[in-house]
Amino acid sequence: MTVLPNSPQARDVETMIHSYTDLKAHQSVGPKIIGRGDGVYVYDDDGKRYIEGLAALWSTSLGFSEQRLIDAAIKQMQELPYYHTFAHKSHNPAIDLAEKLLSIAPGKMSKALFQCSGSEANDTAVKLVWYYHNAIGKPAKKKIISRIKGYHGVTVAAASLTGLPHLHMDFDLPIQNVIHADCPHHYRFAYEGESEEDFASRLAGMLERQIIDEGPDTVAAFIAEPVMGAGGVIVPPKTYFEKIQRVLKKYDILFIADEVICGFGRTGNMWGSITFDLDPDIVTCAKALSSSYMPISGIMVNDKVFEAMVSESEKIGVFGHGYTYSGHPVAAAVALETLKIYEERDIVGHVRKMAEPFQARLKALGDHPLVGETRGIGLIGATELVKDKKTKQAFDPKAKVGAHVARFCEQHGVILRPLGDGIGICPPLVLNEEQVHEIFDKFSAALDDGYTWAKDEGLV
């Protein structure tokens, strides 16, 4: 792509910093500018149509033209465009949203606190874990265990929880008191011949040894996505969470369920916590909470955590935490309308119906010579691209095979996400069966192009 002088691409290069982008390469290649959206499709500034196979950033669950969400935003802007929730102030959109969110929450959540992003929600969860243990007289319990390849955001604390090296390198992360447990990816890390159940038992045993080595009196919480998202769409092996939760309860360690990607129907239930029978103390959510039409996230806590927060704020005289835009009335109104749509249209039921052809087409890609593994649940999945299917040998990361396949996908009119040499698929929840097949037809063609390119480059 050539960046023409005075074009929008050139103006972008001159003025903007792009997330998750090679900043040097961007100066010459510039951006692909998306001009509009309609249903599950987006259009670039040249008018080319793409089916959005990753729901933008795992998040635009209702597609790109849901008029009810637009109307909800306009109505709220006209009534009360902004107010805060500090110092005993409130407004009806935030109250209504908290009430609705808690009514559908996994487990027994007691109260909700709003932020603007998944990163902020997980950052807040870290603060609440520390606040809680100070309140109950266990100030030494400060360490939080995340997992290698887990993704929890990019603030200083959330990026520290994230178990991906490129989020740590030269940012001087992770911070103190964040440690990482082993990744539950059976395809990559199980011993030869080891069943999923045996792999799960081994991981639970390794977690217990890690807790003992760190000192159980110093370990405060464990955070996990029900299905790992940006780390590769890694579905937990059978019995994994059952065995992990047993260890957490044994050592009185809080469990944080990061539902930022899995929440609101993605896995075939309203929450990934329901799909995998999790019993969290804290739940974070974002993305599909508003179908990403407005920036909003939430954190929910159970009674145990909330009662400790109350006693500590009483002692100090204030709960010293909050964001200017926490529970923003426009964002809250849009999120509330989103939850109403999920319920009225039985989005969970629709996901279950579409999951059958989606997972069947995903599994069939395992026969492709470039694909070592397929994995997924509900309407989320990934393929693992490998140099050698028999040995599971990965490509040299410098070859950027996943990025090349993603580029071929765009040429065919589908936008997917390279996750190293994995390719993530996470479409809007409202797609129909014809659109499921459209995604996989175009992805299959891109894989063929990728294989031809890899052969030409001497990579396979």
Confidence category of residue 3, pLDDT binned at 50, 70, 90: confident
Same domain, 98 and 244: yes
Confidence category of residue 268, pLDDT binned at 50, 70, 90: very high
Residues 91, 456 contacting (CB under 8 angstroms)? no
Token pair of 298 as six digits: 């939430």
Residue corresponding to tokens 């038992």: 201
Question: Does residue 269 belong to any structural domain of this protein?
Answer: yes
Question: Does residue 16 belong to any structural domain of this protein?
Answer: no
Same domain, 243 and 149: yes
CA nearest to 412, candidates 452, 374, 443: 443
Token pair of 194 as six digits: 């080891």
CA angle 8, 43, 444 (to 5 degrees): 120
Same domain, 340 and 378: no
CA-CA-CA-CA torsion sign (275, 281, 287, 289)? positive
Same domain, 155 and 244: yes
CA-CA-CA-CA torsion sign (88, 92, 96, 97)? negative
CA separation, residue 300 to residues 155, 275, 289 (Å): 19, 18, 13
Residues 222, 254 contacting (CB under 8 angstroms)? yes
The mean pLDDT of 271-276, rounded to a whole number, is 98
Question: Does residue 293 belong to any structural domain of this protein?
Answer: yes
The DSSP-derived string for 441-454 is HHHHHHHHHHHHHH
**pLDDT 10s digits, 97-155:** 999 999 999 989 999 999 999 999 999 999 999 999 999 999 999 999 999 999 999 99
The mean pLDDT of 216-227, rounded to a whole number, is 98
| pLDDT for the residue numbered 6 | 85
Domain boundary among 316, 344, 372: 344
User: Does the structure show a pLDDT above 90 at 15?
Assistant: yes
**pLDDT 10s digits, 431-459:** 999 999 999 999 999 999 999 999 999 99
Confidence category of residue 1, pLDDT binned at 50, 70, 90: low
Same domain, 168 and 292: yes
Question: Does residue 6 belong to any structural domain of this protein?
Answer: no
The mean pLDDT of 352-373, rounded to a whole number, is 98
The DSSP-derived string for 74-88 is HHHHHH-S-----TT
Same domain, 355 and 237: no
| pLDDT for the residue numbered 378 | 98
3-class DSSP string for 353-399: HHHHHHHHHHHHHHHCCCEEEEEEECCEEEEEECCECCCCECCCHHH
Same domain, 229 and 319: yes
| pLDDT for the residue numbered 169 | 96
How confident is the prediction for the chain on average, in pLDDT? 97
Question: Does residue 218 belong to any structural domain of this protein?
Answer: yes
Same domain, 124 and 260: yes
Question: What percent of the chain clears pLDDT 70, i.e. is strictly above it?
Answer: 100
Strands (E), 210-368: 219-224, 254-258, 282-285, 297-302
**pLDDT 10s digits, 375-424:** 999 999 999 999 999 999 999 999 999 999 999 999 999 999 999 999 99
Q: Is the peptide bond before 418 cis (omega within 30 degrees of 0)?
A: no
Domain that holds residue 248: 68-344
Question: Does residue 261 belong to any structural domain of this protein?
Answer: yes
In the chain, the amino acid numbered 420 is: G
CA separation, residue 273 to residues 24, 119, 224, 277 (Å): 40, 19, 10, 6
CA atoms lying within 13 Å on the CB side of residue 66: 28
Domain boundary among 344, 364, 398: 344
pTM of the shown model = 0.96
**pLDDT 10s digits, 161-218:** 999 999 999 999 999 999 999 999 999 999 999 999 999 999 999 999 999 999 999 9
| pLDDT for the residue numbered 5 | 86
User: Does the structure show a pLDDT above 90 at 4?
Assistant: no
User: Does the structure show a pLDDT above 90 at 2?
Assistant: no
The mean pLDDT of 340-367, rounded to a whole number, is 98
**pLDDT 10s digits, 19-74:** 999 999 999 999 999 999 999 999 999 999 999 999 999 999 999 999 999 999 99
Provide the domain count of the chain.
2
- The enclosing domain of 229 has a CATH number of 3.40.640.10
Same domain, 358 and 442: yes
Same domain, 358 and 399: yes
- The enclosing domain of 49 has a CATH number of 3.90.1150.10
Query: Which residues are CB-contacts of 299 (< 8 A; sequence separation ≥ 6)?
Result: 112, 113, 114, 115, 121, 124, 125, 128, 282, 283, 284, 285
| pLDDT for the residue numbered 84 | 97
Domain boundary among 297, 317, 344: 344
Same domain, 189 and 326: yes
Same domain, 81 and 42: no
Question: Does residue 186 belong to any structural domain of this protein?
Answer: yes
Question: Does residue 388 belong to any structural domain of this protein?
Answer: yes
